[in-house]
Amino acid sequence: MIRSLLNTPADHEGMLLKAIETNADALIFDLEDGVQIGNKENARIGLRRIWNKVKIRKRNIFIRINDVHTIEGIKDINFLFENNIEPCFIILPKVESGIEVQLTRKLFKKSKLCPIIETSKGVTEAKSIINSLNKGEYLIFGEADLSSQLRISLYSTFIKEIKRQLVLLSNDENVGVIDSPCFRLKDESFLTQEVQHSYDFGFSSKIAIHPSHISIINKVFSPRYELSYDEIQILEQYKDEHSGIKVNNGDMVGPPMVRMIREKEEQLER
């Protein structure tokens, strides 16, 4: 299970090596926005130098390449082929159609693909992008770029509505959705609140841009290993019945909530 993904710029070799030692469930080696335009080649060189060390550790590695419609994106693809680098996942930025994913898939036979929706066109084409994904692949929401394009706050109601819509569409196809990172580095209270919101929205995991964020993300996204007292009481009420509305501690309870609790109980018994 992937709960946290630590994003690290690939042009900082020391940071890449330190990232390997963290307790993040997955690592993102970033060749795109985390690397300045003039330093792209150095990033590729640094990634090539440490790749064998990474492979030995058998970590979940994501490599975020540049937009495949750009020269740097083409260089990234050539770099991966020439150096026989096959990460677990390849992140595709600024994807705006399912066809883009399908065409890129023909180039990478072993790596799974993770498109980022971070443009308005990507949002409108979300259904086709999600439908293009195979089992075990993820959709990533890029709220920073989208907010910038739309000239709205990262924390606006509109961005929250887009998040809900992407999770809803992805849930129909059983696709996990990874949320954007929290951009406040030293505000633990704010971080905890934002990570909890990501979890409550239905995201499967969240990106971290600093190692200090990992433990909070892992804690919030860890499975709940026991039923609450109220959940146990609800199951008792519905023990011999499968329909109807009941009341538990002043709250109305119906079949949908019971189904959710029973599914949780089944997961705990596995």
Q: What is the model's pLDDT at position 268? A: 63
What is the per-residue pLDDT across 99-142, written as a single tens digit (0 to 9) for each?
999 999 999 989 999 999 999 999 999 999 999 999 999 999 99
Q: Which of 12-16, 126-130, 227-231 bottoms out in mean pLDDT, i.e. has the lowest?
A: 227-231
Report how far apart the first and last C-alpha atoms of the chain are (Å, whole number): 15
**Residue 78: pLDDT over 70:** yes
What is the share, in percent, of the chain residues with pLDDT greater than 70?
95
Rounded Cα distance, 228 and 64, in Å: 39
Mean of the per-residue pLDDT values of the chain: 90
Q: Which of 103-107, 145-149, 248-252, 255-259 bottoms out in mean pLDDT, i.e. has the lowest?
A: 248-252
Q: Which helix (H) or strand (E) holds 207?
A: strand 205-208
Give the confidence band of 56 by pLDDT, cuts at 50, 70, 90: low
Q: What is the model's pLDDT at position 93? A: 97
Rounded Cα distance, 30 and 47, in Å: 9
8 Å CB contact between 115 and 152:
no
Whole-prediction pTM: 0.85
**Residue 225: pLDDT over 70:** no
Domains of the chain, first to last: 4-221 (3.20.20.60), 229-269 (no CATH)
Rounded Cα distance, 91 and 65, in Å: 6
HEC states along 152-202?
CCCCCHHHHHHHHHHHHHHHHCCCEEEECCCCCCCCHHHHHHHHHHHHHHC
Averaged pLDDT, 14-29: 92
